[in-house]
Amino acid sequence: MTIMQPIRQPPEHLFVPDADNTRSFRNALGSFTTGVTVVTTLTQAGPIGMTVNSFASVSLDPPLVLWSPAKSSGRHAAFTGASHFAVHVLGVEQDGLSARFTRGGAGFEGLDWRANAEGVPVIAGTIARFECATASLHDGGDHTIVLGRVLRAAHREGEPLLFSRGTFGRFSTRHQA
In degrees, rounded to 5, the angle at the alpha carbon of residue 12 between the alpha carbons of residues 8 and 14 is: 140
Dist. CA 84–CA 135, nearest whole Å: 9
Do residues 34 and 163 touch, judged by C-beta distance below 8 A? yes
Q: Minimal CA–CA distance to 36: which of 144, 171, 169, 175?
A: 169
Task: Quote the pLDDT of residue 121.
Answer: 98
pLDDT at 100: 95
What is each CA distance from 88 to 16, 44, 83, 141, 158, in whole angstroms? 35, 21, 17, 25, 13
Chain segment 95-126, per-residue pLDDT in tens = 999 999 998 899 999 999 999 999 999 999 99
Q: What is the CATH code for 34-165?
A: 2.30.110.10
Instruction: State which residues of the chain have pLDDT below 70.
Output: 1-2, 174-177
Q: What is the pLDDT of residue 7?
A: 78
Task: Provide the pLDDT for residue 174.
Answer: 66
For residue 4, the tally of other CB atoms under 10 A from its CB is 5
Residue 105: phi and psi, rounded to 5, are -75, 170
